Structure 1
């Protein structure tokens, strides 16, 4: 027996009514943005539940990160202690060598090297041309940067400034095919010219006779010739020596010591005016001695 409470629209009519109401609500929410405040209230009510649900996972992740960070810190601390011990030993050697060097310069009456000005620069951009090895740094004319200024990193010589703007500069890397730098072997002081190959990790030594004493593993440092790069800065390490008697010169390949493919912070070097004046006086004195000898 049917009661009054069971009477009502049929299931089909109810479904159609629900669909119509859904479409109307969707239209009002999408076009008129009528439920924006309602969604805000609902999100506010549900956010504590979301935080509570995510809390176990966050606690587990934080605990794992703390354990990992603790292990990493212990390992890094051990490495730093080992490096500190090695650096302390090298520093002791450097102190002895510096004292001996000062004594020898006093005996030879040679002027001591004066520390030049240095400024840290940061890499801004890298040249996208695959045949050109150039970078842009964030120092320019307002910082005193000048053309052909030497640039180094923590490992060795990087290149020289080729263009100077007001706030930035373009640096030509030693690996560029148009770049050449006079170097000498740290082992036996033989001088060479290292030119860029166009590849970021290769330099060529030009016109090396077959009889020259150069072997793999030799360290090349700047010779100071050319008056661009100061003397004594690391440049490259010889990685391959090919002596083919059918060719007039040996083929010598070296790898730059500077991290040319991972540059971030660079160091700009300035030539001191005092050193330049002394060099000019020395050159003038040598010219006068030569003229006097010719007159005699």
Structure 2
């Protein structure tokens, strides 16, 4: 009877043979590079399995990176909109600062005589009465401001100080119906007086004979009479002349150089540096005497 199990080589012998073969293969691969071609083929055969094994991880990474909830998208969209609004606000602020910087540069570069003292002021309030053209500025007695002081901007004459407080002052504009200013025609030196009409865009010149050499488009500048406004500052342009022979005087309308409804920064002047003695011209005249006295002086 044959036995069921046949005794073969012992496990020790098989282990020894395996170790010997392994050593031989390692030596041949390391020193002789005998298995480079076989390794390349094996690598090519195994690479699809590697791709298949890594596919689930790649899918999970893609899903976690790109699939976000609707709520998260809404939050991101809202955040981006807020950032966009903030950037627009910054741009507007920079634009406003640029405009103010340009105004201040023009204001400080206005045609002043070198010895003339000057100071920049900012408008705090505008009179709400449409028939009273007055504004409030942020300069007062503490800054050396005095009543009757001339006020200009980068284009021309604005008005004069009417009332002075400790830290602010009230300015009477040249377009106010109670204000009058002595002028001269820049072209030929003819002297005249322009008074306010209560309109920002119009002033009137009274008591001018028909034979006076004045034309539409003539530039009117301060004459220096009265000692309040320095001589030579632009004030208005002649816009209309009505020569009616039935009337004793010509009707002349002039347009102020300064845009009174767009004022922001002003320049205060000291024509006499430090007025030690208060004269009759240091205070605004009453509404019924101002035009008469200036007319007498001119």
**TM-score, normalised by the number of residues in structure 1:** 0.58
- Following TM superposition, by how much is the alpha carbon of 1:223 offset from its aligned partner in structure 2, in angstroms? 0.5
Who is 1:3 aligned against? none
Q: Cα gap change, 1:245/1:59 in structure 2, threshold over 3 Å: closer, same or farther?
A: same
Who is 1:243 aligned against? 243
Q: Cα gap change, 1:175/1:60 in structure 2, threshold over 3 Å: closer, same or farther?
A: closer
- Secondary structure of the residue aligned to 2:260 is coil
For residues 140-184 of structure 1, what are the alpha-carbon distances to aligned partners after superposition, in whole Å with 9 as ceiling and x for unaligned? 000000010000011100000010000000000000111010000
- Secondary structure of the residue aligned to 2:255 is strand
Distance 2:87 2:143 in 1: 48
- Following TM superposition, by how much is the alpha carbon of 1:46 offset from its aligned partner in structure 2, in angstroms? 9.0
Distance 1:145 1:59 in 2: 46
Distance 2:88 2:130 in 1: 43
**TM-score, normalised by the number of residues in structure 2:** 0.58
Matched, 1:137 2:137: yes
Distance 1:60 1:169 in 2: 41
Q: Cα gap change, 1:142/1:49 in structure 2, threshold over 3 Å: closer, same or farther?
A: same
- Following TM superposition, by how much is the alpha carbon of 1:276 offset from its aligned partner in structure 2, in angstroms? 9.7
User: Aligned runs of 1:221-240 on 2, under 5 Å?
Assistant: 221-240=221-240
Distance 1:119 1:64 in 2: 34
Distance 1:46 1:138 in 2: 54
Who is 2:260 aligned against? 260
Who is 2:184 aligned against? 184
Q: Is the 8 A contact 2:135 2:171 kept in 1?
A: yes
- Following TM superposition, by how much is the alpha carbon of 1:200 offset from its aligned partner in structure 2, in angstroms? 1.1
Q: Is the 8 A contact 1:202 1:255 kept in 2?
A: yes
Q: Which runs of 4+ in 1 moved over 6 A?
A: 55-65, 274-277
Unaligned runs of 5+ in 1: 1-44, 81-86, 92-97, 99-112, 278-296
- Secondary structure of the residue aligned to 1:142 is helix
Unaligned runs of 5+ in 2: 1-68, 278-298
Q: Cα gap change, 1:60/1:181 in structure 2, threshold over 3 Å: closer, same or farther?
A: closer
Matched, 1:53 2:90: no
- Following TM superposition, by how much is the alpha carbon of 1:115 offset from its aligned partner in structure 2, in angstroms? 2.3
- Following TM superposition, by how much is the alpha carbon of 1:54 offset from its aligned partner in structure 2, in angstroms? 4.3
| RMSD over equivalenced CA pairs, Å | 3.6
Who is 2:217 aligned against? 217
Q: Is the 8 A contact 2:117 2:273 kept in 1?
A: no
For residues 176-207 of structure 1, what are the alpha-carbon distances to aligned partners after superposition, in whole Å with 9 as ceiling and x for unaligned? 11101000011111010011011111111110
- Following TM superposition, by how much is the alpha carbon of 1:239 offset from its aligned partner in structure 2, in angstroms? 0.3
RCO higher in 1 or 2 (8 Å CA, sep ≥ 6)? Answer: 2
The number of equivalent residue pairs is: 194
Bigger CA radius of gyration: 2
Q: Is the 8 A contact 2:235 2:258 kept in 1?
A: yes
Q: Which has the higher helix share?
A: 1
